[in-house]
Amino acid sequence: MSIIRYEQTQGKSLGFYALIAGLGAFILAALGSVYFMEHNGHHVTGMSNRIVWGLPHVFALFLIVAASGALNIASIASVFNKKIYKPLSRLSGLVALALLAGGLMVLVLDLGRPDRLIVAMTEYNFNSIFAWNIILYNGFFVIVGVYLWMMFERRMNKYSRKVGIAAFTWRLILTTGTGSIFGFLVARQAYDAVIMAPMFVIMSFAFGLAFFVLVLMASYKWTQRPLGDAIVNRLSNLLGVFVAAVLYFVAVYHLGNLYLAENAGVESFILMDGGIYTQLFWYGQIVLGGVVPLALLYSPATKGNRSMLGLASVLIILGGIAQLYVIIIGGQAYPMELFPGKEMLEGYGGIAAYTPTLAELMLGLGGIAVALIAIAYLVKFLPFLPESLADDVADPHHKN
Amino acid sequence: MDKCQTSIQKNKNLSRRDFIKTTATTAGVATIATGITLTTYVNAAGENPVTNEKRWGMLIDTNKLTEVDIDDMVNACQEEQGWGNEAHSTGNQKAGWIKKVKVKDKATDRISNLALMCQHCDQPPCVDVCPTNASMKREDGIVLVDRHLCIGCRYCMMACPYDARSFVHEALTDQKEHMPRGKGTVEACTMCVHKVDKGEKPACVEAVDSDAVIFGDLHDPTSKINQTLKRVQSTQIRADLNLNTGVRYSGI
Amino acid sequence: MKRLLIVFLTVFLTSVFAYADKHVNLGDRASELKEEGKSEDIHPDLKEIRIMHPNFLMHKRDKTLRQGIRTKRNSLKACVNCHSATDQNDEFMPIDQSGQFCSTCHQKVGTSLDCFSCHRNTPKEDL
């Protein structure tokens, strides 16, 4: 096998600076939104005492879930010893860290008192899944950071497999923890399901890989480095498998819920008469985020077409955001069953209204921009990207 | 007196501190004679930590409670704690520490009215999920938010089965002296802990003339609430969750 | 660890000012008490209260909130009651307002003053 040579990107072109400027504008808009929200209080958002987590949480959790998924490429190389993914490992670790940083930024800046972040870091309630998540996120930074170091430092290469296994284990626990934030909420019919945790793990596989594929293709295209079909087609196949798995889990989750009479109400709300949530579920999550990408990835007409793979990845990301919107906001909009067997006439109940504001949207998009700007800058300063991923470099056994 | 002492002894092994406490209790009982007055006596000093020998609770009888009573309870709470006049918050953003709730039985169409607030669970989900220990339960069963530690993550509001908590959506001024409230933190019914510690009853309980709402120590066999709960059929909201609430209802 | 850090920083920052004997704006009631020569009954050691008041308050808040111990000593209400000043209309000015008791020092040493985002910043209504 030929030696993989990693090299920084130039990062001097007009395009690079345009990209940075564009992302910078999004970040500034996000910071402006945060100032607006925190200065006035959350009354300027669409959130309320019924919809306590709004659009920022949708973006934050999407990014956090995708972050752990983006590390998969490195894990496949180190844990499962698939050599062809090895050259992608460094980028995989980078995308994972960048996405997590973006997600956490959104999560923290949407707190009621972000100025008290120090409290969150010093006061731990070990019964709280949330507190566990704080530890898991911080640990993820450390472990993936060490992992990257093992990969960069030639002397340390021999440890990279061991650290890779640790990182893989950690990320599985992390996404389980993220899913459990919802899975353990006994009071809410939409959430009280242990399947939430594995479903979030599978979602992370799909969202993280979609994000990774886009970053990979864009950076090789913009830096004019060769990127062979061998590797791209493999990623494409893998992406298809993950998307199908997400659909499977979604089906099991809803079928399981439908079986229980107590959950019939919330299920018919999400699946049939929930207005925007039903539309987002069927058109956004299932059709755009599931069926169409699968068709694009596997149908003979579009298979192997880079643009179609890019389109599929974008749709998976949009579908993923729709999915989290339905889970997080749809799940809150439907009222809790306070008095089973009774109809609520006054005081509580009804579908809670939620209209996201521009500030919330900009904060969420700012998280994505932070992730992208971190990637764009770090590939410029450190050799994350192999100078070539042409077929004969990436896969010596590849036959044209 | 003897009963009181043995029950305490039964509950736990006496440490030295407990011994002193028990002795003090005995002295208190000897001086003032009843358990209820004893409560007032010990707490009025406000110098000792509250203990789990007491568990404050409330019993709401929906058969006796009129709609006017409920409105009085809500108003008394707003007056006492100073919530409800948030200028910028709209609709569901407004604080709601106690709510008037009307339910209809799906089979019989029977309508019940009740006041819904923090149920002061023995196993509170809000306390379990709070990452910073801001959601907390006092030894005597009152569930509170420590606003010094609250970072406004609102996970407790996701976890609460009773929709009992509110998030402060705007900056506030002119708070009540005994009830600090501020933007970006979560709040809920405190069972008027500042009054209870002085030996008084919560404002909503005082607002109802009849005995439709009874407040007291659930553990104390001589208290009215304990005796009534032994006698009448009562229920907890979402009893299936097994949270052992401090607020009980009868007649629904 | 965090406690130690807070103690260290407060001691470090405030010790510089703890030795100055004057305070620009003591507040109405506190000024009266000082004139009557009673202030030492409340704060026997000025240095101590100046340096340690954040710790006293923090200690007190946990005891009050979590254990229901409601003694007057070190209660924030008592601080506000004595150290608030009235304006020309005889109305109390917020104690965290610029130029008032708390903020004069806090601005000088550049430490944030977070109590009054939740706590009432004037004495009780009927005082």
Q: Which domain holds residue A94?
A: 6-336+354-394
Mean pLDDT of A305-316: 96
pLDDT of A47 higher than 60 = yes
C68–B50 C-beta distance less than 8 A: yes
Mean pLDDT of A246-258: 94
Pairing of strands A342-346, A385-386: unpaired
Which parts of chain B register pLDDT below 70? Answer: 1-45
CA neighbours within 13 Å on the CB side: how many for A255? 6
Give dist(CA B216, CA A47) in Å, integer.
37
Q: Where are the alpha helices (DSSP H) in B82-178?
A: 125-129, 155-159
The predicted structure's pLDDT at residue A378: 95
Q: Which of B8, C127, B13, A255 lies closest to B24, judged by CA? A: B8
pLDDT of A337 higher than 60 = yes
Q: Which amino acid is at C109?
A: V
Q: Which of A364, A322, A358, A329 lies closest to A45, judged by CA? A: A358
B165–A345 C-beta distance less than 8 A: no
Radius of gyration of chain B (CA): 19
Q: C57: which 2 tokens?
A: 């308050």
Mean pLDDT of A317-333: 97
pLDDT of A151 higher than 80 = yes
Q: In terms of domains, do B186 and B143 share one?
A: yes
Q: For residues A109 and A59, is the Cβ–Cβ distance under 8 A?
A: no
Give dist(CA B69, CA B114) in Å, integer.
9
Residue A259: inside a domain: yes
Q: In terms of domains, do B149 and B228 share one?
A: yes
The predicted structure's pLDDT at residue B45: 53
Residue A55: inside a domain: yes
Residue B197: inside a domain: yes
On average, the pLDDT of chain A sits at: 93
Nearest CA in chain A to C117: A113
Q: In terms of domains, do B86 and B170 share one?
A: yes
Q: In terms of domains, do B175 and B217 share one?
A: yes
Q: Which of B144, B180, B185 sits opposite C119 (nearest CB)?
A: B180
- Interface predicted TM-score (ipTM) of this complex, two decimals: 0.91
Give dist(CA A199, CA B144) in Å, integer.
34
Q: For residues B118 and B103, is the Cβ–Cβ distance under 8 A?
A: no
Q: Is C73 exposed, middle or buried (0-12, 13-18, 19+ CB in 10 A)?
A: exposed
Alpha-carbon separation of residue A333 from A53, A133, A266, A347, B95 (angstroms): 10, 25, 10, 15, 18
pLDDT in tens, A254-288: 998 898 888 889 999 999 999 999 999 999 999 99
Residue B223: inside a domain: yes
pLDDT in tens, A181-192: 998 888 888 888
Q: For residues B213 and B73, is the Cβ–Cβ distance under 8 A?
A: yes
Q: In terms of domains, do B182 and B133 share one?
A: yes
Q: Is C66 on the interface with A (CB under 8 A)?
A: no
Residue owning tokens 């009432």: C120
pLDDT in tens, A65-122: 999 999 999 999 988 888 889 999 999 999 999 999 999 999 999 999 999 999 988 9
Q: B97: which 2 tokens?
A: 């520490």
Beta bridge partners of B186: B167
Nearest CA in chain A to B184: A112
Q: In terms of domains, do B24 and B97 share one?
A: no
Domain ranges of chain C: 2-117
pLDDT of A291 higher than 90 = yes
Q: In terms of domains, do B20 and B83 share one?
A: no
Q: How many domains does chain B have?
A: 2
A38–B184 C-beta distance less than 8 A: yes
The predicted structure's pLDDT at residue C3: 72
The predicted structure's pLDDT at residue B222: 96
Q: In terms of domains, do B72 and B17 share one?
A: no
Nearest CA in chain B to C92: B174
Cβ neighbours for B244, distance < 8 A, ≥ 6 positions apart? B121, B122, B123, B236
CA neighbours within 13 Å on the CB side: how many for B51? 15
Shortest distance, CA B76 to any CA of chain C (angstroms): 18
Q: Where are the alpha helices (DSSP H) in C19-126?
A: 28-35, 39-42, 46-67, 76-83, 101-109
Give dist(CA A294, CA A241) in Å, integer.
9
Q: In terms of domains, do B115 and B185 share one?
A: yes
Q: Where are the alpha helices (DSSP H) in chain A?
A: 14-40, 55-70, 72-78, 89-109, 117-122, 129-152, 160-183, 196-222, 229-259, 264-268, 276-279, 292-298, 306-325, 331-333, 358-381, 391-394
What is the torsion angle, in degrees rounded to the nearest 10, for the CA atoms of residue A341, residue A344, residue A347 and residue A349? 100
The predicted structure's pLDDT at residue A106: 97
Q: A186: which 2 tokens?
A: 């006994």
Residue B43: inside a domain: no
Q: In terms of domains, do B15 and B129 share one?
A: no
Residue A344: inside a domain: no
A21: pLDDT confidence band, cut at 50, 70 and 90? very high
Shortest distance, CA A41 to any CA of chain C (angstroms): 12
Residue B44: inside a domain: no
Q: Which domain holds residue B15?
A: 2-33
**pTM of this structure:** 0.89
Residue A295: inside a domain: yes
The predicted structure's pLDDT at residue C20: 56
Chain A residues close to C2, C-beta within 8 Å: 118, 122
pLDDT of A396 higher than 70 = no
Q: Is A125 on the interface with C (CB under 8 A)?
A: no
Give dist(CA A250, CA A286) in Å, integer.
9
DSSP state string for B61-104 = ETTT--HHHHHHHHHHHHHHH--S--SS--GGGS--SEEEEEEE
Q: B71: which 2 tokens?
A: 């409105």
Give dist(CA B21, CA C33) in Å, integer.
38
The count of residues in chain B is 252
pLDDT in tens, C16-72: 555 555 666 888 888 988 889 888 888 888 889 989 999 999 999 999 999 999 988
Chain C residues close to A125, C-beta within 8 Å: none
The CATH number assigned to the domain holding B81 equals: 3.30.70.20
A156: pLDDT confidence band, cut at 50, 70 and 90? confident
The CATH number assigned to the domain holding A67 equals: 1.20.1630.10
Residue B128: inside a domain: yes
Shortest distance, CA C4 to any CA of chain A (angstroms): 13
Phi, psi angle pair for A385, to nearest 5°: -100, 130
Q: How many domains does chain A have?
A: 1
Residue A400: inside a domain: no
Pairing of strands B56-61, B247-250: parallel
